[in-house]
Structure 1
Amino acid sequence: MGAPSAALDYLGRLDASNLAGFGFGQLNPASGAVTAKPDSPDDLRWEPAPIAESKWRRQEFNLDKVAILLDGSDYAAQALPWAKMYCQKTGAHLTILSSIKGDLDEFEEKFEERKKYLEDVQNKLRTEDLDADIVLRSGFIADATQLLVHEKQIDLVITSTRGKSGKLNWTSGGVSQKLIQKINQPILLVQTSEEGNATPPKLERILVPLDGSIFSERVLPYARSLAQIFDAELILLTVPAVPEPEDYSAPSELIEDIRRKAEMEIENFLDAVARSLSESGIRVRTIVAGTLPARTIVNVGRDENVDLIMSTSRGRGGFELLMLGSEAQRIVEQSEKNVFMIPIRDRPL
């Protein structure tokens, strides 16, 4: 999403000049004007945001107050082991949030049924030495979450990607997507399958996609914190915004040269970020691969067998990745890995 990189813009103009094999200097069928070959991209470079703007590389955020969203379903309950693991490891306080909506004549019955369910969950957690508060409200869960985050200064919201209906609530414009739009706090999206089988929680390997923007670097304090708490390895990934030669009719040598230069710049950028993390004793690896961000992130996450993908909702183009078809949406939809998403917007809500 967002504006194309200088490389993609140049290649697009070059590709248009060669369209249908007519070559350069041919008539433009729309205007009748002669189409000239675009200027050579002598100064075409992949450049990260200025280091002076990067205040996130050495920061660390504590997530001391956690909320988990439960709706009484087995799907939603699959997020519980992750909340339990984090809170037991860090001593963070846990709040269990649920909401009821429906007709007035059946509301009281639903309320009592949900209250009993939440109390059972609360009691079970106590047997595992974890105290949790219960908050049960009326209305939509996204609105209830927004209010709770404000009232209790919640640092992290944990929810599953499927709720009571069993449908993926990101693709249907459900809770997960609404939360990204309503709150500023990080959201841990726990992937669930239709069969309701969740893998046991662990954090040994974390994938952190970075695109060189300050927006994407805002994930780093959270990645640093989780890596230190769980002694996890961080894998920093950047996908060059230059496609493979076969994707364009431009000369392959030109595209390969542009990509090679971009990869060199990216490697320097990732090495600098990796150093800032490894100085704190964190194990870090860097990867430069792929052409399409979402697909590459999903594939690397699978091939590296990561336990978590950490990302922001806004990337290099500067546009929020919240709409249908965004990179953030594709990652959540296409990956089987849990996703830690940091909402990014121009102004706090």
Structure 2
Amino acid sequence: MISLPAAIPVRQTRRPLEMASRAHCVPSYFPERSPVMFKHILIPLDGSPLAECVLPHAVAFARTFGATCTLVHVLEITSNGEQGRCPDPLEWQMRRQEAKRYLEQVARRLDALQVQAVPLLCEGRAANCILDCAHREEADLILLSSHGYSGLSGWNLSSVAQKVIVRANTGVMLIRAYRTGSAELDTLAYRKILAPLDGSRRAECALAPASSLARHFQAELLLAHVVRKPEVPRRTPLSPEEQELVDRLVALNRQAAQEYLESLRSHMGAGTKIQTRLAVASGVATYLHELVESEQVDLVVMCAHGYSGETRWPFGSIAASFILHGTTPLLFVQDLPRDQEILTQAEQAAVEQAPADRSFGAQGERQAGGPALAGDILQHLEVLS
């Protein structure tokens, strides 16, 4: 009797049997969390045209989900590479006034399109302030440009964007600043949306916002599943019996995946144009990237984690691949509750060594009649000295 080689995974694809009976699989689009819908969007802006590439997407999301927007601008403590130098009080006040006017101008542009936007001015370090504002304002989506004031570079992400994504612990929409479209704020329309699925409940977190966007824009929703070919490390070619076992496992997982996708299509309801793609490949990420290009997808929606359920890191390998190497707008839904966030060793060390600096990054001031959370500029200088 031939036994299954130890190197072959027992299951490459989650079976519908795990969610309901095999014959009557009714997928659960919303796992342990409540349905993912975005009601409060945080939009970091640094005053550059590159950062403003997110604004058409902000209008699209606000109209789809009925969300309000908070426009946040961060006044950096250091500028022009002069580390450790206290800013001139007069110059600092001038910068604050310019930033206020800029935020108010953007808010008026959005208000003209019936999108509620509230300006918020913060002082500190950009990434820290954005994360602190997202937590304090209870934002459930951060709409982020890949690049900003520092300009485009050979890197697919700026340092600030990367820091925010890694520690956001909430949904993030990443827009590639080097692939901007129309300058008009209300002309954006998604035509084809890709939702990669691996059969897990976690991955299904992406279905609610993906289907809502598809219905709103009458876009095609592409549900994709990749059956990974199992790895069988051998110094010699597989025997016929071993190859037969591998082929049987792939066929079994492919059949289960086909049933899963068909069940999704039948239970997601009317009003959504759904297409499915099922493939067998050695590299899941490679296939998905190629699918984005071949299908001319203009929005990818996925969950931060998938079948493996590894939660030590903010996102899994497939999400990380799209964050680092993707070229289209990417919305990834964070499936981990905020109370499960674990500080890294670097963060723990930073908190222990400089708690005052960390708290300083949380200060901000609303520009629309809200309470002033930042003190006078001289108090800031006193803290820095």
Q: Same fold (TM over 0.5)?
A: yes
CA contact (8 A) 1:311 1:342 kept: yes
1:64 to 20, 33, 39: 39
Aligned to 1:240: 227
Aligned to 2:201: 214
**Distance (whole Å) between structure 1 residues aligned to residue 58 and residue 64 of structure 2:** 10
**What is the identity, as a one-letter code, of the residue corresponding to 2:29?**
W
Matched, 1:154 2:139: yes
Matched, 1:281 2:271: yes
Aligned to 2:68: 93
Seen in structure 2, the aligned counterparts of structure 1 residues 294 and 134 have a Cα distance that, compared at 3 Å, is same
SS in 2 for 1:318: coil
Seen in structure 2, the aligned counterparts of structure 1 residues 114 and 298 have a Cα distance that, compared at 3 Å, is same
SS in 1 for 2:104: helix
**Distance (whole Å) between structure 1 residues aligned to residue 95 and residue 6 of structure 2:** 56
Aligned to 1:334: 325
CA contact (8 A) 1:245 1:256 kept: no
Q: Percent identity?
A: 25
CA contact (8 A) 1:209 1:310 kept: yes
Aligned to 2:98: 113
**Distance (whole Å) between structure 2 residues aligned to residue 175 and residue 271 of structure 1:** 41
**Distance (whole Å) between structure 1 residues aligned to residue 5 and residue 181 of structure 2:** 40
**What is the identity, as a one-letter code, of the residue corresponding to 1:140?**
R
1:198 to 181, 189, 205: 181
**Distance (whole Å) between structure 1 residues aligned to residue 201 and residue 315 of structure 2:** 23
**Distance (whole Å) between structure 2 residues aligned to residue 88 and residue 324 of structure 1:** 28
**Distance (whole Å) between structure 1 residues aligned to residue 231 and residue 121 of structure 2:** 52
**What is the identity, as a one-letter code, of the residue corresponding to 2:146?**
T
Unaligned runs of 5+ in 1: 1-6, 12-40
1:175 to 124, 148, 160: 160
Q: Aligned Cα RMSD in Å?
A: 3.4
Q: What displacement does 1:133 show?
A: 0.9
CA contact (8 A) 2:144 2:175 kept: yes
CA contact (8 A) 1:48 1:212 kept: yes
Q: What displacement does 1:136 show?
A: 0.8
Seen in structure 2, the aligned counterparts of structure 1 residues 288 and 203 have a Cα distance that, compared at 3 Å, is same
**Distance (whole Å) between structure 2 residues aligned to residue 169 and residue 341 of structure 1:** 23
Q: What displacement does 1:294 show?
A: 1.6
Q: What displacement does 1:168 show?
A: 6.7
Q: Deviations over 1:258-302 (max 9, x none)?
A: 32222111111122222221x243221211123312211111111
Aligned to 2:19: 51
CA contact (8 A) 1:295 1:331 kept: no
Q: Deviations over 1:111-141 (max 9, x none)?
A: 3332232222223334444442100101233
Unaligned runs of 5+ in 2: 21-25, 79-85, 342-385
Please, which moves more after superposition, 304-313 or 103-112?
103-112
**Distance (whole Å) between structure 1 residues aligned to residue 304 and residue 158 of structure 2:** 15
SS in 1 for 2:276: strand
CA contact (8 A) 2:220 2:273 kept: yes
Matched, 1:250 2:225: no
SS in 1 for 2:229: coil
Seen in structure 2, the aligned counterparts of structure 1 residues 169 and 93 have a Cα distance that, compared at 3 Å, is farther
**Distance (whole Å) between structure 2 residues aligned to residue 169 and residue 208 of structure 1:** 28
Aligned residues, how many? 310
CA contact (8 A) 2:299 2:328 kept: yes
**What is the identity, as a one-letter code, of the residue corresponding to 2:278?**
V
CA contact (8 A) 2:64 2:213 kept: no
**Distance (whole Å) between structure 1 residues aligned to residue 336 and residue 256 of structure 2:** 27
Aligned to 1:134: 119
**Distance (whole Å) between structure 2 residues aligned to residue 152 and residue 89 of structure 1:** 21
Seen in structure 2, the aligned counterparts of structure 1 residues 295 and 166 have a Cα distance that, compared at 3 Å, is farther
Seen in structure 2, the aligned counterparts of structure 1 residues 201 and 70 have a Cα distance that, compared at 3 Å, is same
Seen in structure 2, the aligned counterparts of structure 1 residues 81 and 304 have a Cα distance that, compared at 3 Å, is same
Seen in structure 2, the aligned counterparts of structure 1 residues 178 and 274 have a Cα distance that, compared at 3 Å, is farther
Aligned to 1:20: none
